[in-house]
Amino acid sequence: MIDELFSNLWPVFGAILLAAWVGYIAYRNSRKSRLAEAAATFRSSIVPSAFSGMRGHQLHGTLICTYPVHREAAKEFKRYLGPIAKFRFERAWRAYHGGDEEHPRFIAYYIPESGPETLFLRLEVLKRAANQT
């Protein structure tokens, strides 16, 4: 009797496993697609050449205007990263804005004489982090 019960349950159990596997594959593909889209959006928001030739307060003003776009793109991009990629990206992101997303330290980092070069390098690191996905 028990053998008969289990023999009738194997097809049901197999169907449940198959449905779970198909669901997992669909979820994974959807997540990869959203990650690729978020990475492309983030990369397109980071344009180091937009800051070329700027120094001092002009550079600071431009950074203040473009930072909200960068922050929103980074926020969306981070949602889809795994733990290691997220850690690496967070490190580059903190180096760019100074550790506090709400009040970035652009004056301390990018107003000094070597500021534009530092900004260019940090933006390139951010773009590379988004390219690793």
Is the residue at 48 inside a domain?
A: yes
Is the residue at 94 inside a domain?
A: yes
Is the residue at 20 inside a domain?
A: no
Is the residue at 27 inside a domain?
A: no
* Interval 15-44 mean pLDDT: 90
Is the residue at 125 inside a domain?
A: yes
Residue identified by tokens 């550790």 is: 99
Is the pLDDT confidence value at 115 over 90?
no
Is the residue at 104 inside a domain?
A: yes
Kind and range of the H or E element at 1?
Answer: none
Q: What is the pTM of this model?
A: 0.75
Residue identified by tokens 């909200």 is: 68
Is the residue at 14 inside a domain?
A: no
The model's pLDDT over 85-108, given as tens digits with 9 standing for 90+, comes to 899 899 999 999 987 888 888 888
Label residue 23 by pLDDT band (50, 70, 90).
very high
Is the residue at 87 inside a domain?
A: yes
Q: Rounded to whole angstroms, how far apart are CA atoms 22 and 120?
A: 44
How many domains is the chain partitioned into structurally? Answer: 1
More confident residue, 117 or 130: 117
Domain limits for position 114:
34-131
Q: Rounded to whole angstroms, how far apart are CA atoms 133 and 119?
A: 22
